[in-house]
Amino acid sequence: MKFSEVIGQEETQKRLTQMVVEGRVPHAMMFCGPKGCGKMALALAFASYLLCCDKEGSDDSCGTCRQCAMLRSWSHPDLLFTYPVIKPTGTSADHKMVSDDFAREWREMLSDGPYFTMDRWLEKMNAANQQAMIYVAESEVLIRKLSMKSSQGGFKVNIIWLPERMREDCANKMLKIIEEPPQQTVFIMVCEEPERLLETIRSRVQRIDIKKIDTPSLEKALTERRAIDGDMAHRIARVANGDWMKALEELDAGNENNQFLDLFKLLMRKAYARDVKELKTWSDTVAALGRERQKRMLVYFRHLVRENFMYNFHNPDLVYMTMEEESFAAKFARFINEANVIEIDEIFGTAIRDIGQNTNAKMVFYDVAMRMIVAIMRK
């Protein structure tokens, strides 16, 4: 993958290529940034640039040399991937899960494009309600692979997607690898929640903070890659707020946010009416969703709370909503005010935490519904 295929992020691209030109590539890096900003795209482009054998004097990989040919199918022997996996039902208790167990699915996803989410990865693995993680066996496999010399005589690059999902025993072993890396080995961690990583790991990597994609770059990508008119591209880019995946969701009229919006409306209406029976039905409905989907829904609910609160200031520059969301806000926004906005946000934030800790979903969402009865009435 070439840097020219990354959406925006020119400043970070320049910083990365300069590291290579000046011969000061860190042995361990951590790319951090908001969802949809292109962390993985940058990691793949940087890895390709490191491994390309014909980039002399250029700020991008050539795309035509033998190394780049192997990289196009993500089969380069010196590019290693580490990522969270599930343990499928029926797997032998003796089998130790590693990334290679899902190598075919991983390459398929990368071939579809470098912008993706954990939910999409779970779908690729045919996961149900399982949590994906990086098991301790992964570090053992990685030690073996890195002990072998580079097959092409250059760098060996290990991209670790979502290292915060490493089990603690795996993280401790990974720390030792990072502390004493083989020569010309570069670790690139693509991280969404760096605070969940061991402090000892965070202190041994160079952190690269990646910003949201700027609106003009999003607009350009939408018009060039999705062939939509300028006005529509501008509206979608503004709502997406620097998130390419959010922009693509907006293009899909049937995306799940429409369902989440309906569930939010129902929660607020029944909470205002103090309809406990219907709220119990609502909590049972959302409890049946998969945990990853539940977390996405709660994040979306927090977004709606924030946008409805800002809507009350009557400043269009402060509001980032779709036409459907804004139509709802015209009637609902007055119920989100200084007296309850923080409380309601915390209700959803606590639920995200509880779902992440595998708390019984029916209990979590019934608690959300009951607390909302009180919060929505505050003025």
Render pLDDT for 113-140 as a digit per residue (tens, 0 to 9): 999 999 899 999 988 778 899 999 999 8
264 confidence band (pLDDT: 50, 70, 90): very high
Helix (H) or strand (E) holding 186: strand 185-191
Which pLDDT score is estimated for 63? 87
Q: Are residues 67 and 167 in the same domain?
A: yes
d(CA 361, CA 22): 52
Which pLDDT score is estimated for 321? 81
Residue 247, domain member (yes or no):
no
Helix (H) or strand (E) holding 342: helix 341-356
Which pLDDT score is estimated for 153? 73
254 confidence band (pLDDT: 50, 70, 90): very low
Q: Which two tokens stand for residue 221?
A: 């990508």
Residue 248, domain member (yes or no):
no
The mean predicted confidence, pLDDT, of the chain is 91
Residue 246, domain member (yes or no):
no
Q: Are residues 224 and 264 in the same domain?
A: no
Reply yes or no on whether the pLDDT at 199 is more than 70: yes
- 329 vs 290, which has greater pLDDT? 329
Which three-class secondary structure state does DSSP give residue 91? coil
Reply yes or no on whether the pLDDT at 295 is more than 90: yes
Q: Are residues 108 and 220 in the same domain?
A: no
Contacts of 308 (CB under 8 A, 6+ apart): 329, 332, 333, 335, 336
Neighbour-count burial of 224, counting CB atoms closer than 10 A to its CB (0-12 exposed, 13-18 middle, 19+ buried)? exposed
d(CA 359, CA 279): 19
180 confidence band (pLDDT: 50, 70, 90): confident
Helix (H) or strand (E) holding 143: helix 136-146
228 confidence band (pLDDT: 50, 70, 90): confident
Residue 273, domain member (yes or no):
yes
Residue 303, domain member (yes or no):
yes
Helix (H) or strand (E) holding 80: strand 79-82
Q: Are residues 135 and 235 in the same domain?
A: no
d(CA 20, CA 117): 29
DSSP 206: E
Q: Are residues 162 and 95 in the same domain?
A: yes
Residue 198, domain member (yes or no):
yes
Q: Is the pTM of this model over 0.85?
A: no
Q: Are residues 166 and 303 in the same domain?
A: no
Q: Are residues 135 and 225 in the same domain?
A: no
Parent domain of 321: 253-375
Q: Return the bridge partners of 156, or none.
A: 185
Radius of gyration of the chain (CA): 23
102 confidence band (pLDDT: 50, 70, 90): very high
Handedness of CA 145, 146, 150, 156 (dihedral sign): positive
Residue with tokens 């009416």: 273
Residue 137, domain member (yes or no):
yes
Q: Are residues 166 and 79 in the same domain?
A: yes
Q: Are residues 18 and 145 in the same domain?
A: yes
Residue with tokens 């050539």: 62
Q: Are residues 196 and 65 in the same domain?
A: yes
Q: What is the DSSP track for 4-64?
A: GGS-S-HHHHHHHHHHHHTT---SEEEEE--TTS-HHHHHHHHHHHHH-SS-TT-SS--SS
Q: Are residues 169 and 195 in the same domain?
A: yes
Which pLDDT score is estimated for 108? 93
- Number of structural domains (the chain) is 3
Which pLDDT score is estimated for 255? 61
Residue 181, domain member (yes or no):
yes
Q: Are residues 310 and 235 in the same domain?
A: no
Give residue 316's Cα distance to chain centre.
28
Reply yes or no on whether the pLDDT at 57 is more than 90: no
